[in-house]
Chain A
């Protein structure tokens, strides 16, 4: 008898174990029509989705409620006992968006501690999440953040995340105008001067830029590291959106990029590394490399270039406007629809993106260009302010001139995918493996794989 009972128990235990894994909570994905803010009680855990550690370190360093950070940095403890849990997924190949989309789909059924409370979006795909129809973000108004709170921010940073109904659904601590960062030592050897104004004259438009590139080559240097370095400068200066309806419209200026990149690669004007964020590209920014300069926006200089250049490279860099104004990146904080920590989210947003003192402090400490017009103007005209890394140059002054000109009216939800696939497809053409027609063909098939809803591609 006993044996029988035991075996029944065993079988039951086994079956349970097998079935336990599939106890899925099937819920309807269509969430309620109106964004919901639960004002009753704050949850114990704030889940924040990010793609790198930039915002994480900003919050840990400048949010006044932070008590301590766990050793592996995955949890930030706040003074009132609430925990911030960080989920980091890389941006490349759309991984970050995939994971975020999955989490947002489960938002309704997830337990309060698992709900996404806040996530970051980049300009390339901000529209996907701030779309009123997608309904995955909370308008700032509903959190209790007023237009007055944000009045000192750059207008474009608000325009990007404003939905069709005119409601702002995100907020950023930075503005991201771009500049051309170059090596002072090489400028001195080749141009005879490292003065930013004089170097700017040499690079004032693309024709002069090409001539300067030849000069670099004659002296044994490379003007640029990879073809991807100039992509943003061209793709920001287009006349229309990437996608209209279901048609991909390739802009004339992107074909200019193709033409220039082919020329630079064939003539050896660039170092032809395989792309940005690769090992070789990082090495090209080190002190002993022969690459003259990089197009970078604000965060790139303090977050990427300074790290790659190391101690030896410090002081050897300077920035100038370059041939065309552009912007690159930018991170917006978005409150997830269904968050159970609206008060915390509001507080984090206000402290980190709308508090002038805090923002100016960030700029002074990290040289990031922060989203406060008055604060940045003050720093720009401060003769005492300068960056040691840039040899004492006041880069804020240059950024402050470019920032008001940023126009993001041509961004679309497809920007990241289109940009990535376009560069990938033409990479083989630059390396002489295929002709231009084949590269176009490859782009067409790849973009339709990435976005099944797109039907046609129009070339200029």
Chain B
């Protein structure tokens, strides 16, 4: 027994490592990979429910993809992009300004922690609850209209939800409010990671605030900016709960606030799995392309230059040989 024990003293933990990560892979396989493959498979089938009766799955080739291209898919992609960009531009600008202020050791804001919490708060509210709140606030007989009317600014209530500009701005505003705090805090972390010596050196060289920001801060936080852009694009593509709740699923007015995922949801609501699958594949391709472009754009130029130089050198060496 004694000798046995000493043999076992050095248990190899490598195998245990695999066992411990097994649950993730099993979960991923069951809940992500299999449905993913199924989605792609069903996109080539006619498969929906009519009343209580299931139709299909019947193989129809690329029919679903064609039907989608003939529908207003591009219009919904446009809607999504407009509402995303209208929320993203103020979001990134305000976040950068806040991050620069909050990290500047010469301004020294009191109660910094408090403000950090406050700007992050909107992100903690569930998006659908936030949308419901805005729906009530900006409804025809809602408090915003009532305040404006009692102040004498307007004589008739403004009907925000029936105008394209009104509805889209509300959605962009909500997206901005929910995400600028998150972005600001991420940028702050990035700025605080910069070596303070660089700022001091720049100051000694006579840079003002704007110049420091432009030539020191901005280039150094570029990887984080890239990350923000990518996550925001993916988040924007998936925009759903805010416009869905605000317009009660209708994408009103005239379907100008209908996003891609709302369109997808319309197909899922009618249990049209074939069409929904095809739409999902389109979305997958679009997000992959977008991510690739942004990734290329944001790739460190120095690294790219270094690579080029190396290639050149290699070539020269070869030629010499």
Contact residues of A with B, CB < 8 Å?
1, 3-4, 7, 11, 14-15, 18-19, 22, 29, 93-94, 98, 101, 104, 128-129, 131, 133-134, 136, 273-274, 278-280, 283, 413, 424, 427-428, 431, 433-434, 438, 442, 445-446, 449-453
Contact of B52 among A15, A136, A452 (CB under 8 A): A136
Contact A93 B252 (CB under 8 A): no
B4: nearest chain-A partner, CB-CB: A1
A291 to B71, CA, bound (A): 41
B208 interface contact, C-beta 8 A: no
Give 4 closest A-B pairs by Cβ, nearest first.
A452-B48, A134-B52, A449-B266, A452-B272
Smallest CB–CB gap between A89 and chain B, Å? 14
A12: nearest chain-B partner, CB-CB: B19
Contact of B72 among A94, A128, A129, A445 (CB under 8 A): A445
Contact A134 B53 (CB under 8 A): yes
With a 10 A CB-CB cut-off, give which of B22, B23, B54, B163 has the most chain A CB atoms. B23
Q: Chain B residues with Cβ under 8 A from A4's Cβ?
A: 11
Contacts A15-B26, A18-B23; A1 near B8 (Cβ below 8 A): yes
Q: Chain B residues with Cβ under 8 A from A451's Cβ?
A: 50, 270
With a 10 A CB-CB cut-off, give which of A431, A449, A452 has the most chain B CB atoms. A452
Contact of B270 among A128, A134, A428, A452 (CB under 8 A): A452
Contact B22 A449 (CB under 8 A): no
Smallest CB–CB gap between B211 and chain A, Å? 48
Contacts A18-B27, A449-B266; A428 near B254 (Cβ below 8 A): yes
Contact B16 A128 (CB under 8 A): no
Smallest CB–CB gap between B80 and chain A, Å? 17
A3 to B159, CA, bound (A): 68
Contact B270 A18 (CB under 8 A): no
Contacts A280-B139, A428-B254, A451-B50; A22 near B161 (Cβ below 8 A): no
Contact of A101 among B52, B139, B162 (CB under 8 A): B52
Contact A449 B20 (CB under 8 A): no
Smallest CB–CB gap between A36 and chain B, Å? 17
With a 10 A CB-CB cut-off, give which of B30, B51, B136 has the most chain A CB atoms. B51
Q: How many inter-chain contacts with C-beta < 8 Å in the A-B complex?
A: 93
B141 interface contact, C-beta 8 A: yes
A428 to B250, CA, bound (A): 11
Contact A433 B269 (CB under 8 A): no
B142: nearest chain-A partner, CB-CB: A279
Q: Chain A residues with Cβ under 8 A from B267's Cβ?
A: 449, 452
B78 interface contact, C-beta 8 A: no
6 contacts between A and B (CB under 8 A): A3-B11, A18-B23, A134-B52, A280-B140, A428-B252, A452-B272
List residues of B (159-214) whose CB comes within 8 Å of A's CBs.
Answer: 159, 161-164
B249 interface contact, C-beta 8 A: yes
Smallest CB–CB gap between A2 and chain B, Å? 11
B263: nearest chain-A partner, CB-CB: A449
B250: nearest chain-A partner, CB-CB: A424
A129: nearest chain-B partner, CB-CB: B52
Contact B52 A104 (CB under 8 A): yes
Contact of B269 among A3, A93, A431, A434 (CB under 8 A): A93
Smallest CB–CB gap between B5 and chain A, Å? 8
Q: Chain B residues with Cβ under 8 A from A133's Cβ?
A: 53
Q: Chain B residues with Cβ under 8 A from A93's Cβ?
A: 248-249, 269
B55 interface contact, C-beta 8 A: yes
Contact of A433 among B23, B30, B141, B253 (CB under 8 A): B253
B225 interface contact, C-beta 8 A: no
Contact pattern, B 44-59, Cβ under 8 Å of A = 1, otherwise 0:
0000111111110000
Smallest CB–CB gap between B65 and chain A, Å? 15
Contact of A428 among B23, B54, B162 (CB under 8 A): B162
Q: Chain A residues with Cβ under 8 A from B11's Cβ?
A: 3-4
A104 to B54, CA, bound (A): 13
B96 interface contact, C-beta 8 A: no
A7 to B192, CA, bound (A): 41
B247: nearest chain-A partner, CB-CB: A424
Contact A428 B253 (CB under 8 A): yes
Contacts A15-B22, A280-B139, A442-B255; A94 near B269 (Cβ below 8 A): yes
List residues of B (57-71) whose CB comes within 8 Å of A's CBs.
Answer: 71
A274 to B52, CA, bound (A): 32
Q: Chain A residues with Cβ under 8 A from B23's Cβ?
A: 14-15, 18
A105: nearest chain-B partner, CB-CB: B52
Contact B51 A445 (CB under 8 A): no
Contact A11 B254 (CB under 8 A): no
B100 interface contact, C-beta 8 A: no
Contact A453 B50 (CB under 8 A): yes
A451: nearest chain-B partner, CB-CB: B270
Contacts A134-B51, A452-B270; A279 near B254 (Cβ below 8 A): no
Contact B48 A453 (CB under 8 A): yes
Q: Chain A residues with Cβ under 8 A from B263's Cβ?
A: 449
Smallest CB–CB gap between B203 and chain A, Å? 54
Q: Chain A residues with Cβ under 8 A from B164's Cβ?
A: 433
Smallest CB–CB gap between A106 and chain B, Å? 13
Contact B254 A433 (CB under 8 A): yes
Contact A11 B22 (CB under 8 A): yes
Smallest CB–CB gap between A444 and chain B, Å? 11
Q: Chain B residues with Cβ under 8 A from A104's Cβ?
A: 52
Contact of B141 among A14, A131, A279 (CB under 8 A): A279
A19 to B23, CA, bound (A): 9
Q: Chain A residues with Cβ under 8 A from B20's Cβ?
A: 11
List residues of B (124-176) whose CB comes within 8 Å of A's CBs.
Answer: 136, 139-141, 159, 161-164
List residues of B (29-47) whose CB comes within 8 Å of A's CBs.
Answer: 30-31
A78 to B53, CA, bound (A): 35
With a 10 A CB-CB cut-off, give which of A22, A283, A413, A449 has the most chain B CB atoms. A449
Q: Chain B residues with Cβ under 8 A from A453's Cβ?
A: 48, 50, 55
